[in-house]
Amino acid sequence: MNSISIYTISLGCPKNLVDTENMLGPLKNVCRNVDDPRKAQVILINTCAFIQPAIEESLQNILEMVEIVKESSQNPLLVVTGCLVSRFGQELKKEIPEVDIFLTIKDQSKWLEVLTRHFSNKLASNNQHSILKNQNSKLFPRLLTTPKSFAYLKISEGCNNKCSFCSIPSIRGRLKSKPLNQLIQEAEFLLDQGVKEIILVAQDSTAYGRDLGYKYGLMTLLEKLLSLSRLKWLRIMYLYPAGLSQSLLKFLAACGKPFVPYFDLPLQHAHPQILKSMGRPFAQNPQKIIDRIRNYFPEAALRTTLIVGYPGETDAHFQTLYDFVERNRFHHLGVFPYYPEQGTKAATLPQQVSDVEKRTRQDLIMRLQQKISTRILAEYEGENMDVLVDKAHPEWPGLFVGRVWFQAPEIDGVTYISGPDIHSGSMVYATIHEAKTYDLVALY
């Protein structure tokens, strides 16, 4: 039987990437991935639609693939799924009729039926039955697209928080946690593939299990995962600040390795008036969250994301945010100008800030963060640290790209490393030779 060639684009966050890997997993025996859409019989685009730039990027990718489909002799099937479809499905069908199949997030499980029908001449009847049987199983293997060193484990879907600027609950729905046993099985599957670091992702990781009736959901899950002997690093992303209770931090402080004391906190702002307008439940004093973490983890690596130019943000509000960043010395920080997203409460608020002012404020904080990051990384020069090697450098033979414990993949800086016997997926104990603004250089 001839295999089906498939070209995949996965946009947006790691949660989206896991969805893509789950869609590809059951097809590994009947499909092969290609790196050129002109050679593909299927083009799959998993889109993002969180904020306006993500929407624009998704649309640009779709339109580029539409042009390639028109020119291709393969006449590929163009399938578009993900957040953009769930948010603007009917509009997309009208505006881009060249797309063969639009699948909402809820309908992603149906895509195997779509392929089976479309390629019935290529798939023998016994294989059709096998694919559909896999589709209906509670847990089917993912096709990992990340380097051998790490993989994401999505522990829940959706969100019950009601932040005034966020469109995610309307796209992804309310919190829906994966059953505990299923997550442990999936983690063991990832370790079987040689993965050394598992990264937990969700819209709000601290909320895991609440919908399933777990009293201490995240702690229960972590207890199980941390007992897996082959796991080298366990990292948790998307820790909603209000969920970082004293009991959770006390539990994490007692865990030790392989837990990585890296705290990804989407704070969004620091001024209580802006936080209250945003609908953030820790609006009174976000400094308490930072102090609470550092009380248990003095050397913790903190990452956060901030929004500047939120409606009603004055110069004084911004100065509070600027001072907050300067005082707390985050290892990693992302700053986004506010985007009024259709259907959100914040989009209808008065006192919208001009785009020019948003960009100015974004630039001011990022310049400050450059100085902070440079100083923090310089403190690690001369230290010996574990480096998890992700991949070979694409341009420099003998040079590899990896990460130390306070660097999450794809969003933080990297550690460049060279030396004998280094390969993708290895973890080596190396000396930090040089610190740059966001990256490190190590020698093994």
Distance between CA atoms of residues 178 and 156, nearest Å: 5
CATH of the domain at 406: 2.40.50.140
The angle at the Cα of 36, spanning 30 to 41, to the nearest 5 degrees, equals 40
Three-state SS string over 100-130 comes to: CEEECCCCHHHHHHHHHHHCCCCCCHHHHHH
- CA 346, 10, 103 angle in degrees (round to 5)? 75
> Which pLDDT score is estimated for 355?
96
Q: Is residue 143 part of a domain?
A: no
Give the CA count within 13 Å in the CB-facing half-sphere of 246: 1
Which is more confident, 386 or 398?
386
Per-residue confidence band for 300, with pLDDT thresholds at 50, 70 and 90: very high
In a domain, 233, yes or no: yes
Q: Is 270 helix (H, G, I), strand (E, B) or coil?
A: coil
DSSP for 12-41, written as a single string: SSHHHHHHHHHHHGGGTTTEEE-S-GGG-S
Q: Cα–Cα distance between 294 and 288 in angstroms, integer? A: 10
In a domain, 141, yes or no: no
Tell me, yes or no, whether 214 and 349 share the same domain.
Answer: yes
Q: Indicate whether 102 and 123 sit together in one domain.
A: yes
Task: Tell me what pLDDT residue 420 has.
Answer: 86
At residue 137, the pLDDT reads: 46
Residues 297 and 167 in one domain: yes
| Residues 81 and 52 both lie in one domain | yes
Question: How far apart, in whole angstroms, are the C-alpha atoms of residue 223 and residue 67?
Answer: 50
pLDDT reported for residue 215: 86
Render pLDDT for 36-63 as a digit per residue (tens, 0 to 9). Answer: 999 999 999 999 998 999 999 999 999 9
pLDDT cut 70: percent of the chain above it: 94
Residues 163 and 238 in one domain: yes
Domain co-membership, 284 together with 163: yes
* CATH number, domain containing residue 80: 3.40.50.12160
Model confidence at 136: pLDDT above 70: no
Domain limits for position 400? 384-443
Of 80, 102, 136, which residue sits at a domain end?
136
User: 158 falls in which pLDDT band (50, 70, 90)?
Assistant: very high
pLDDT tens by residue, 83-107 = 999 999 889 999 999 999 999 999 9
**In-domain check, residue 256:** yes
Packing angle, helices 246-255 and 287-296, rounded to 10: 30
Full strand arrangement of the beta sheet holding 150-154: 150-154, 197-201, 233-236
Residues 99 and 189 occupy one common structural domain: no
Residues 6 or more apart whose Cβ sits within 8 Å of residue 357: 309
Residues 172-226: tens digit of each pLDDT: 999 999 999 999 999 999 999 999 999 999 999 999 999 999 989 999 999 999 9
For residues 256 and 130, membership in a common domain is answered with no
Residues 424 and 324 in one domain: no
Model confidence at 129: pLDDT above 90: no
Residue 145 falls within a domain, yes or no? no
Of 106, 136, 166, the residue at which a domain comes to its end is 136
- Residue 350 forms part of a structural domain: yes
Q: Are residues 125 and 57 in the same domain?
A: yes
In a domain, 142, yes or no: no
**Could you read off the pLDDT of 347-382 as tens digits, one per residue?**
999 999 999 999 999 999 999 999 999 999 999 999
Q: Which of 48-62, 127-141, 294-308, 388-402 has the lowest mean pLDDT?
A: 127-141
What is residue 348's predicted lDDT score, i.e. its pLDDT?
93
Pairwise CA distance, residues 224 & 183, whole Å: 10
Is the same domain home to 347 and 408? no
pLDDT (0 to 100) of residue 363? 98
Determine the pLDDT at residue 283.
58
| Structural domains in the chain (count) | 3
344 shares a domain with 275: yes
Q: 1 falls in which pLDDT band (50, 70, 90)? A: very low
Last residue of a domain, one of 378, 394, 413: 378
- Asked if residue 212 belongs to a domain, the reply is yes
CA 129 to chain centre: 33
